[in-house]
Amino acid sequence: MPRKIFERLLPRKKSKHNHTIPKALDVVKKQLEERFKDSDDIAIHEFSLPLKLDLDTQAVLVYIKGMVNQDAVFEQVLRNLVLGLRQISHLEKLPQESIKMIKDIITVAEVSEKSSWDDVILDLVSGSALVFIDGQKFALSINVAQGERRGVEQPVTEAVIRGPRDSFSETLTINISLVRRRLKDPRLKVKKYVIGERSRTETALLYIEDIIDSGVLEEIKKRLETIRIDSLTDSGYLEQLITDTWWSLFNTTQESERPDEVVGGLLEGRFAILVDNTPFAILAPTTINTLMHSPEDYYLSWIGSSLVRFVRFIGSFIAFILPGLYIALVTYHPEMIPTQLALSISATRTGIPFPVVVEAFIMELAFELLREAGIRLPGPIGQTIGIVGGIIIGEAAVGAGIVSPIMVIIVATTAIASFLIPTYSLTVTLRTLRFFVMILSALLGLFGLVLGVLIIGGHLCILKSFGVSMLSPWTPLRISDFQDSLIKLPLIATKNRPVFGRPQDRRRLVDKRPNDLKRGRTE
């Protein structure tokens, strides 16, 4: 179980500063200087608050340069505290009414009291300004965070022809708002966690209270609470830590940079996890079925979507099995190839110095090199390298007699088919397993090919995502979920949510159209 793995990760260390804030301002300053020793970006300003009749109260303003809006700090915080309070009658002591008065004077959206030293440090490194008041065992945390942040842009890995053009960014609050804009439901819950002993990364768990299965919800909460790691820099880290089977090549979670995809998953009874500083959300429970779906499937007519989805499934099968099938047939079973085709293959392989399996591996590895080079290079250059490089290498290899033309066709067809898969993690998995099937086909022929398919199929049968079979709805067989599987039924026919997520509320559509319209007659 993942929890046993979590227990072996970095243990939580108790901080020697894990206590309440001392009353003496000198002690506070000393502890701040000790904690942020040799950090030149820490700003500490001492000033006086006119809160007593005869003597001003000393206070300290602390913030990190570059992480706060300094105009807001000086104009709305420091200036208002120093000058604004002088226009209000002084008090002998500092009762709770004075704290409320200070909060009212600070014209910033969010001001809160913090009494734990760890909470204070977390707010400080997150971009808040802190005000410590002499004699008080708390600090005022003022949200004036400001940093360089990327705006909402078009999706890169999940582009569609028809559909929304916005995608998640690296700012957690913006990402949550993108989901809230589409799902204005008070039952949409957002529970935040801070993960990472050093990075202190803010993470948000999103779910719809009356739809998600309570068992799934308790399980993901337990897994998030048991994570002990020093840094969480991307959702990919979290994806690996909460997965059911870390050793499997198949992801038991789904990544997405599209808010509409996340909202669709939430409405099916799944949960989403958003991580600060990363534009990809995590969706689970997940099946192979959901990994093969694109958001665009739900924006087009059911006939067109079903055709595209069917082609996508066929393409994934081709991308996985075609090179291995070619190796098995040419090497061990040439009698199964039609005569004319066998003669053509034999003619094109005349003079080729390598066996079919070596030829296939050479071309597959060459294409993988081109694919990776195209990804790492800047956009326009990468596309040029991928297209031109593939043409030049293919033509040169055929002209030099290193590979046959039919092998170039096989590899190119396999590559094009792999581009049909909408989820990148599944694409990487099938690319890896393709080499496994090629090796078995080279050793055992069609028997090895079938054996490889059975091994992978058997693995998928036992693979689960938060208790849900990865091969749902095919195994276990759920006829009701076939409405949104290999083909997509009309929207009006999908009145219930999929069963695989075990939603509490299964009904999602009520057909109240007039009977004539239901029968397709509008006269």
Backbone angles phi, psi at 22, to 5 degrees: -70, 155
Backbone angles phi, psi at 303, to 5 degrees: -70, -50
**299-355, pLDDT tens digit by residue?**
988 998 999 999 999 999 999 999 999 999 999 999 999 999 999 888 888 888 889
**428-467, pLDDT tens digit by residue?**
999 999 999 999 999 999 999 999 999 999 999 999 999 9
4 pLDDT more than 60: no
pLDDT score at 78 = 81
Per domain, the residue ranges of the chain are 13-142, 172-298, 302-454
pLDDT score at 109 = 63
105 pLDDT more than 80: no
Q: Structure tokens of 20?
A: 């309440």
DSSP class of residue 10 equals P
- ∠ Cα 414 416 422 (to 5°): 110
**144-153, pLDDT tens digit by residue?**
887 667 778 8
Q: Structure tokens of 361?
A: 């591996």
pLDDT score at 76 = 79
Confidence band (pLDDT; 50, 70, 90) for 383?
low
Q: Give the mean model confidence (pLDDT) for residues 240-258.
A: 91
**43-94, pLDDT tens digit by residue?**
888 888 776 555 577 888 999 988 888 888 888 788 777 776 666 655 444 5
pLDDT score at 447 = 95
Confidence band (pLDDT; 50, 70, 90) for 156?
confident
Q: Evaluate whether 495 touches 510 at the Cβ level (below 8 Å).
A: yes
Q: Evaluate whether 224 touches 193 at the Cβ level (below 8 Å).
A: yes
pLDDT score at 384 = 63
Mean pLDDT over the full length of the chain:
84
CA distance 349 to 404: 5
Residue in the block written with tokens 């033509």: 395
pLDDT score at 151 = 75
**Residue 104 three-state SS:** helix
114 pLDDT more than 70: yes
Backbone angles phi, psi at 48, to 5 degrees: -115, 140
281 pLDDT more than 80: yes
260 pLDDT more than 50: yes
pTM equals: 0.84
CB-count exposure of residue 88 (10 Å: 0-12, 13-18, 19+): middle
